Structure 1
Amino acid sequence: MRRQLCTLHAALELVPAPLFVVSDLDGTLLDRRERVSPHMREVVGRMAEQGTVFTLATGRPARWVLPVIEQLPVQPLCVCANGAVVYDSAKDEIVRAMELNSATLSTVIQRLTAGAEGTALHGAGFAVERAGTSAFDRADELFCVTEGYDHAWLSDEHKVLSTEDLIAQPAVKLLVRNENVSSQELFDAVAPRLDPREVHATFSWGGGLVEISAPGVSKRTSLEWIAERLGVQATETIAFGDMPNDLEMLGWAGTAVAMGNAHDDVKAAADLVTASNNDDGVAAVLARWF
Structure 2
Amino acid sequence: MLFVFDLDGTICFKGEPISERILNALANLTKQGHEVIFASARPIRDMLPVIHKDFHHYKMIGGNGSLIYKEGKIVHSKSFISQDLNKIVDLIKEFDGTYLIDGEWNYAYTGPDDHPILRNVDAGKLAQLVNLNELTSIVKILILTSNNFEQLFEKLSDMELFINRHSNENVLDISPKGIHKWSALEALGVKRGSYIAFGNDSNDITMFQNALHTVMIGHHEELSHFAKESIDIKGNFEEEIISKLEMLSDYYTLVK
Common topology (TM > 0.5): yes
Match of 2:45 among 46, 63, 66: 63
Question: Match of 1:15?
Answer: none
Question: Match of 1:153?
Answer: 118
RMSD (CA atoms): 2.9
Between structure 1 and structure 2, the one with the greater Rg is: 1
Question: Match of 1:3?
Answer: none
1:26 aligns to what SS in structure 2? coil
AA matched with 1:282: I
Provide the aligned length of Structure 1 versus Structure 2.
241
Tell me the alpha carbon deviations over residues 177-203 of structure 1, each in whole angstroms, 9 at most, x when there is no partner: 11889xxxx4x5444213566321113
Match of 1:172 among 135, 139, 147: 139
AA matched with 1:25: L
More contact order relative to length (CA 8 Å, sep ≥ 6): 1
TM-score, structure 1 normalization: 0.72
Classify 1:74/1:128 alpha carbon distance in 2 versus 1 (closer, same or farther; 3 Å).
closer
Classify 1:272/1:190 alpha carbon distance in 2 versus 1 (closer, same or farther; 3 Å).
farther
Tell me the alpha carbon deviations over residues 240-280 of structure 1, each in whole angstroms, 9 at most, x when there is no partner: 11111111111111112111x23222223211112328611
Matches within 5 A, 1:1-290: 19-32=1-14, 34-70=16-52, 75-88=57-70, 90=71, 92-114=72-94, 116=95, 123-132=96-105, 142-146=106-110, 151=115, 152-154=117-119, 159=129, 161=131, 165=133, 169-178=136-145, 186=149, 188-194=150-156, 198-204=160-166, 206-226=168-188, 228=189, 233-259=191-217, 261-276=218-233, 279-280=237-238, 281-290=240-249
The answer (yes or no) to whether the contact 2:61–2:181 under 8 Å persists in 1 is: yes
2:31 aligns to what SS in structure 1? helix
Question: Match of 2:254?
Answer: none
TM-score, structure 2 normalization: 0.81
The answer (yes or no) to whether the contact 2:92–2:98 under 8 Å persists in 1 is: no
1:28 aligns to what SS in structure 2? coil
Distance 1:72 1:169 in 2: 31
Classify 1:113/1:149 alpha carbon distance in 2 versus 1 (closer, same or farther; 3 Å).
farther
The unaligned stretches of length 5 or more in structure 1 are: 1-18, 117-122, 133-141
The answer (yes or no) to whether the contact 2:231–2:237 under 8 Å persists in 1 is: no
Please state how far the C-alpha of 1:95 moved relative to its aligned partner. Answer: 0.7
Distance 2:111 2:50 in 1: 31
2:163 aligns to what SS in structure 1? strand
1:270 aligns to what SS in structure 2? coil
